[in-house]
């Protein structure tokens, strides 16, 4: 992996992490195009998520995490992901990460699911009540613990590359009756403990074997991911005020079709 490769992958991570299009899937497909392989690549793709985490903390600050009602809901949502992630960590890293076929199928099916989900929602559910202001003071605190746990279960589906953590949590939250702005913000916040855990687990297992060059590449990817994630989050918060996620569904299907042609 070169510095340019690290920069490209960092940009891909930052742009796609919080959009419902699967950052892991895009990283795997980008790595395929760049001709990158190896165990370090898998760890790199996990580690640069820290850049996206820092972008969330910069944009939202720590006040949300210091709010006990919100923090308790984040913990409840995180538990299913942590349990399932620990159980299937070795299987996912050995057989799913780096598997372009799995990504293509997951992208296509996820895109179709997004389109069908948005089309089956009534027009009234996409009205003003669905697009509450993102600074609505106590909206996240109205999420019940049952809803939080179910959102965590939905997020667990993202251990499959190409599913998209944000898409799973956002669609799950919308299906549970949570407003679009609230579930998007909750998804952002839930990403922090989720990605910290995934990155920490991988670095503990593999980080001691990295060279100084490896850490330099991770640092470059980290910075690129932070900058682009910051821009991506701000854009998405504005986009959801007046748009559904249908366009992301079509995008996923188009990308899946293009890469399917490449790998067949």
Is residue 135 within 8 Å of 245, Cβ to Cβ?
Answer: no
Domain count of the fold of the chain: 1
**Per-residue pLDDT, 14:** 94
**Secondary-structure breakdown of the chain: helix, strand, coil percentages, each rounded to the nearest 5:** 80, 0, 20
* Mean pLDDT calculated for residue range 219-224: 95
Residue 111 has pLDDT above 90, yes or no: yes
**Per-residue pLDDT, 234:** 92
Report the alpha-carbon angle 249-255-261, nearest 5: 140
Residue-wise pLDDT for 29-55, tens only, equals 898 889 988 878 878 888 888 899 899
Structure tokens given for 238: 């504005």
pTM of the model: 0.82
Is residue 180 within 8 Å of 174, Cβ to Cβ?
Answer: yes
Boundaries of domain holding 137: 3-263
More confident residue, 42 or 128: 42
Residue 105 has pLDDT above 70, yes or no: yes
Residue whose C-alpha is closest to residue 132's, from 88, 92, 184, 167? 184
Structure tokens given for 7: 């920069």
* Cα 121 from Cα 114, distance rounded (Å): 11
Q: At what angle do helices 180-206 and 49-60 cross, to 10 degrees?
A: 140
CB atoms closer than 10 angstroms to residue 66: 9
Residue-wise pLDDT for 163-198, tens only, equals 888 899 999 999 998 988 889 889 989 988 888 887
Residue 122 has pLDDT above 80, yes or no: no
């Amino acid at each position: 992996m070169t510095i340019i490769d690290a920069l490209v992958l960092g940009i891909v991570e930052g742009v796609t992490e919080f959009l419902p299009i699967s950052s892991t899937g895009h990283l795997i497909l980008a790595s395929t195009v760049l001709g990158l392989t190896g165990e370090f690549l898998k760890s790199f793709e996990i580690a640069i998520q820290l850049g996206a985490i820092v972008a969330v903390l910069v944009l939202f600050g720590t006040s949300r995490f210091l709010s006990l009602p919100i923090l308790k809901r984040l913990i409840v949502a995180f538990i299913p992901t942590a349990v399932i992630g620990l159980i299937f960590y070795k299987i996912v890293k050995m057989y799913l990460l780096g598997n372009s076929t799995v990504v293509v199928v997951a992208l296509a099916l996820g895109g179709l699911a997004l389109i069908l989900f948005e089309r089956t929602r009534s027009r009234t559910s996409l009205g003003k009540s669905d697009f509450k202001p993102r600074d609505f003071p106590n909206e996240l605190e109205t999420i019940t613990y049952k809803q939080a746990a179910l959102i965590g279960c939905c997020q667990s589906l993202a251990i499959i590359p190409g599913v998209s953590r944000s898409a799973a949590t956002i669609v799950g939250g919308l299906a549970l009756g949570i407003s679009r702005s609230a579930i998007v913000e909750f998804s952002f916040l839930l990403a922090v403990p989720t990605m910290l855990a995934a990155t920490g687990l991988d670095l503990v297992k593999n980080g001691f074997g990295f060279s100084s060059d490896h850490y330099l590449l991770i640092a470059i990817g980290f910075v690129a991911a932070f900058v682009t994630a910051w821009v991506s989050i701000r854009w998405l918060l504005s986009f959801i005020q007046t748009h559904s996620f249908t366009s992301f569904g079509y995008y996923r299907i188009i990308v899946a079709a293009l890469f399917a042609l490449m790998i067949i």
